[in-house]
Structure 1
């Protein structure tokens, strides 16, 4: 790894400008899921333990460069205090006199939260002057927001190039897990890619067939590949206009020595609702008036065999319409198999993406995966083989 961690810098007595992602879901003014705040706690605790003063920089919502009172971060102060277990103060701006005064008055053992960085248009423009104004507040930069690392913003990219910089514990865990899964993985490597559309994951599929040994395609995407193979899919969700693209991916995979796994059998129904009547059929036998909503038990058995023969698993996207039973069976069963192998130390399993995390949580398998990324877009871009600006800035410093 080229980037530095908190262990590589002397933090004692220094203000540590810490980029975090606390863009949490809120309903009726209350945080409904504090996971993102909970996951930054180890970084804050370590900065304090090393004698540093954590000053948090974050965005919230899309104010588009203007001060929007409803998107102020101030309401998160009590939530942060509760989770971090230390006093948290608030600055009414992230640069300028208000921020400087708040930093100057920050007691040892406390945390300062700066106002929404996106209240300034210069943040998303990755403006050098704005980054310099942020840098003037501290001596060390710590990026703990992997989920924002795919954005070249002032607080994620430009700032990292102006002062000694390192990865926070969450960023460190993400990077180590991802490097272990795709950059220098234990082989064989299997990737599971699900979801609705091939068109949204073209770059991902093209990158993976050159990096992994086996690629499992599920969900609505699998239907498009079945169409490409001339198989009937009835009224199923699919992108018929992507059939040529699907065939090209199959050809590329064959050239790269990557085995693509598609459903052997399918779960079909005439209506898409919980508890709907369904039947299991061979993958080439979907009736004209039915839709494919999940992979069948033979497909799951084949996946189990692939997982057991693999050393590393990367997972993005469900295998079926997991939100509605009984069309969650394949995703749940495959997830539990991967979880068991991971718990037994036989498989390194890394998963990410919103639907993926939700599906693994529903299946009860998430806790046994080696690593679950909540990063969404950054996780997907990493899987696509793209350079993440926030990570590149740390690497260039290392």
Structure 2
């Protein structure tokens, strides 16, 4: 066992039988997913980035759409970032798209368009962490590298009865060491994908389907009846709440005003109706501030309700205010005026899609 890990594999654990049983199960039961029909490392890379924090069924249409637009690294590398964000629209966690775009540019400029098969070179690419690195190397290049995410830690916590807290970053290293020791040298692709598939279909967070599990006989937690008590995972901090006004400004032709979010931070580079914190403004003070800041007089004509959007760390509650500009032309604000059709060509985050649905 590697000296990096304090966890030892049980003496009676038969690694070879375990590998055989669940790799055979994987080949017979695996889902027919579009990224499993290829060994192209770029396609596998895109799928793994999309699958981070996103359900498989959600990813499938986005993956197909994205690959139609950008079938090779060259199309993606030469694309405008706004177009890339538009193709990603609705998938969330947009930093994934920006990092992927930057990394693919690096692949084209530095690696002659070839996704690196070298561990150290691959890790240099923006947005490629240890999990993505392991997934690409094992699935696309058949290298015996661990690809450890929450699914894998849950499965192996139960199989080997490991009570380490998987919410702690250092625990991931423990599981990577364990996977390195038991991974199939002959078929690391099926091994890693099999673990992912087992976690998705059988060894689920609640109510694992132990009666259907192909490796039940190898499971230490099942043998002791403690499978539902594992993995150990401390609860994350409670999400904070933030409230905003979304201002729907219309000019005399009925066009809307939208603005681009900053290039850094949450929802970077995406477009939105102007968003104002309710910690800073009331409706009355917002109207006054717009007059002082831009010399624009507005009249709120309707309240279109509230939308809610849950991010991983914060919950937004957004009150939608529809307003007309009074007695003047468009104000000198930094953004674009768009109609009902043109606005659909701009990359909007999910929360703004919810707002738009109230309007159109």
User: TM-score, normalised on structure 2?
Assistant: 0.25
Structure showing greater radius of gyration is 2
